[in-house]
């Protein structure tokens, strides 16, 4: 199994020995990118500079997962594109990045506001809300009055501002720009460059801009010079490489009753889209699951198993494959567990994750499933009346009306006093199971 995670704490985008070759082996073979290894850090404004034909666009489209490399690998947030599912790539295209082109690529038959909201349409979002957000962006970029016009009625500068608005509509962290001002007069060009600078400095977007115009170089925090498909040197104006492994940026998760550790983690993710938070929380989730479910294996086995759990959570392994890998000898790349343990562990993880995923998608419908799951897992043997009370206590926690201590207390509290009256030890384990479900659903 290949390792798909690099150091997620440092670079946002990372390429390793990237090669893009057109017409390989033929007379007209063109090596557009040659052995390009590169890091882009969060919140950087990076300019890729070089003469026409040196491979700038090819590099940009590779980073945008729009161009598959001939060889080498590209990582975003530590995840290799080649290992992502189609759905992951779609999500990256829809919400992880926005892109603007020299030729704008606005759809001539749609009004400006419809053009801008188009990327939202694919995400099945409410039409009214979609429009409101689109209008906000038009206002911000000074083209509100153009909302119901068609692209042909706009000036070049206005069209480019509209296409910037479109790239921003799904709130991506990364903006790719391919010669965005190449077709504009100098006043409009300056205006568009200033907008990109503001998006970087104020909105904290990571900007990767391709240009052959030396006048743009002062805008970059870091400028990368290319020639004949190769990186030849870089110039750092403003150092934005993280000093210590740290994640900047944000979750759209409501304030809930969470453990202090999770609280701290989430705070450090302020501003990031949910999908990204979810990936960044992965190591924490994995650790918690490991400690929670199982603690009788060696450190080496823990490490190997964490790798498998990660593949499982990214849905690169299904339950059966997880079980097989756990049950395989370490010398053959497995975790050297015994068959029974691998079987029970993989089922346990699978039950937990399936429930947590359902909980995330359909929280209302899943509450009773959580009750039934806990009743069975801990062999609570609740009768109908007890089950009803258990469920109402549990719902308090699932709706975040009480915290984990509150849940623990009510489970332990005697029946007469309105609790469930189960043993202290069991109450603790049930409460802890509920926390894990709540964690994994993120």
211 lies in the binding site for Mg ion (CB under 5 A): no
Taking the least distance from each CB to ligand ADP, the nearer of 29 and 263 is 29
Among residues 21, 30, 110, 382, which is the contact residue for ligand ADP, using CB under 6 A?
A: 30
Quote the DSSP letter at residue 5: B
**What are 225's strand-pairing partners?**
49, 233
Minimum CB distance to ligand ADP, residue 59 (Å): 7
State the nearest-atom distance from the C-beta of 56 to Mg ion, in Å.
Answer: 5
Least Å from the CB of residue 53 to ligand ADP:
4
Angle at Cα 55 formed by Cα 52 and Cα 60, nearest 5°? 115
Strands 230-236 and 71-76: unpaired
Instruction: Answer with the entry of ligand ADP, Mg ion, none that 333 interacts with (C-beta below 5 to 8 A by kind).
Output: none
**Collapsing DSSP states into helix, strand and coil, what is residue 257?**
coil
Instruction: Tell whether residue 223 is a contact of ligand ADP (CB under 6 A).
Output: no
Interaction between residue 200 and Mg ion (CB under 5 A): no
* 213 touches ligand ADP (CB under 6 A): no
Whole-number minimum distance, CB 249 to Mg ion, in Å? 30
Binding to Mg ion (CB under 5 A) within 246-285 occurs at none
How far, in Å, CA of 333 to CA of 2, rounded?
Answer: 11
Check binding of 216 to ligand ADP (CB under 6 A).
no
* Residue closer to ligand ADP, measured from CB, 52 or 338: 52
Query: CA 200, CA 45: separation in Å to the nearest integer?
Result: 7
- Tokens in use for 354? 């399936």
What are 291's two structure tokens?
């400690």
Interaction with Mg ion in 48-77: which residues (CB under 5 A)? 57
Q: Identify which of residues 54 and 265 has a Cβ nearer to ligand ADP in the complex.
A: 54
Using CB under 6 A as the binding rule, whether residue 22 contacts ligand ADP is answered as yes
Identify which of residues 57 and 279 has a Cβ nearer to Mg ion in the complex. Answer: 57
317 token code pair: 């392994």
Cα separation, 73 vs 14, in Å, equals 8
Backbone angles phi, psi at 297, to 5 degrees: -120, 165
Query: How far, in whole angstroms, is CA 46 from its chain's centroid?
Result: 21
Size of the site for ligand ADP (CB under 6 A): 11
CB of 54 to ligand ADP, least distance (A): 4
Residue (48 or 370) nearer to ligand ADP, CB:
48
3-state secondary structure of 103: coil
- Out of 54, 162, 297, 422, which residue is the one contacting ligand ADP (CB under 6 A)? 54
b/e 5-22 (16+ beta carbons within 10 angstroms → b): bbebebbbbbbbebbbbe
Residue 146: name its binding partner from ligand ADP, Mg ion, none (Cβ under 5 to 8 Å by kind).
none
Which region among 3-11, 50-58, 232-240, 294-302 touches ligand ADP (by CB under 6 A)? 50-58
Give the bridge partners for 100, in sequence order. 177
Minimum separation from the CB atom of position 290 to Mg ion (A): 47
Among candidates 359, 313, 426, 430, which has minimal Cα distance to 4?
313
Taking the complex as a whole, the smallest distance from the CB of residue 100 to ligand ADP amounts, in Å, to 14
Q: Residue 151 burial (CB < 10 Å; 0-12/13-18/19+)?
A: buried
Distance CA 385, CA 204 (A): 54
Summarize as ranges the residues that interact with ligand ADP (CB under 6 A). Answer: 22, 30, 32, 50, 52-58
Summarize as ranges the residues that interact with Mg ion (CB under 5 A). Answer: 57
């Amino acid at each position: 199994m290949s390792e798909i995670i690099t150091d997620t704490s440092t670079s946002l985008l990372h390429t390793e020995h990237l090669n893009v070759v057109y017409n390989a082996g033929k007379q007209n073979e063109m090596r557009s990118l040659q052995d390009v290894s590169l890091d882009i850090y969060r919140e950087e404004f990076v300019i890729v500079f070089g003469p026409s034909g040196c491979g700038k666009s090819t590099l940009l489209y590779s980073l945008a997962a729009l161009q598959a490399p001939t060889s080498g690998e590209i990582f975003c947030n530590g995840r290799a594109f080649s290992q992502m599912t189609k759905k992951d790539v779609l999500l990256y295209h829809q919400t992880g990045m926005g892109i603007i082109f020299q030729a704008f690529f606005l759809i001539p038959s749609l009004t400006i506001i419809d053009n801008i909201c188009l990327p939202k349409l694919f995400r099945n979002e409410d039409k009214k809300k979609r429009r409101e957000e689109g209008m906000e962006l038009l206002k911000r970029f000074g083209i509100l009055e153009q909302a119901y016009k068609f692209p042909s009625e706009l000036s070049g500068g206005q069209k480019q501002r509209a296409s910037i608005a479109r790239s921003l509509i799904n709130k991506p962290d990364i903006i790719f720009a391919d010669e965005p001002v190449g077709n504009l007069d100098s006043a409009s060009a300056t205006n568009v460059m200033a907008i990109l600078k503001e998006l970087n400095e104020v909105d904290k977007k990571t900007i990767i801009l391709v240009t052959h115009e030396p006048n743009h170089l002062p805008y970059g925090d870091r400028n990368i010079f290319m020639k004949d498909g190769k990186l030849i040197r870089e110039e750092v104006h403003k150092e934005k490489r993280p000093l210590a492994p740290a994640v900047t940026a944000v979750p759209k998760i409501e304030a809930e009753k969470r453990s202090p550790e999770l609280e701290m983690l989430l705070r450090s993710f302020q501003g990031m889209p949910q999908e990204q938070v979810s990936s960044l929380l992965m190591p924490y989730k994995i650790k918690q699951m490991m400690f929670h479910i199982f603690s009788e294996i060696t450190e080496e086995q823990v490490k190997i198993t964490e790798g498998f759990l990660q593949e499982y959570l990214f849905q690169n392994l299904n339950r059966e494959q997880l079980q097989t890998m756990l049950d395989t000898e370490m010398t053959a790349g497995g975790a050297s567990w015994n068959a029974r343990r691998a079987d029970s562990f993989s089922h346990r993880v699978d039950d937990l994750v399936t429930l947590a995923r359902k909980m995330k998608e359909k929280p209302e419908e899943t509450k009773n499933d959580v009750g039934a799951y806990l009743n069975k897992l801990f062999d609570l043997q609740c009768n109908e009346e007890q089950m009803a009370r258990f469920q109402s206590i549990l719902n308090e926690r699932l709706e975040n009306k009480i915290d984990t201590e509150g849940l623990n207390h009510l489970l332990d509290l005697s029946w007469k006093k309105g609790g469930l009256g189960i043993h202290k030890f069991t109450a603790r384990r049930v409460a802890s199971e509920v926390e894990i479900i709540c964690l994994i659903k993120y």
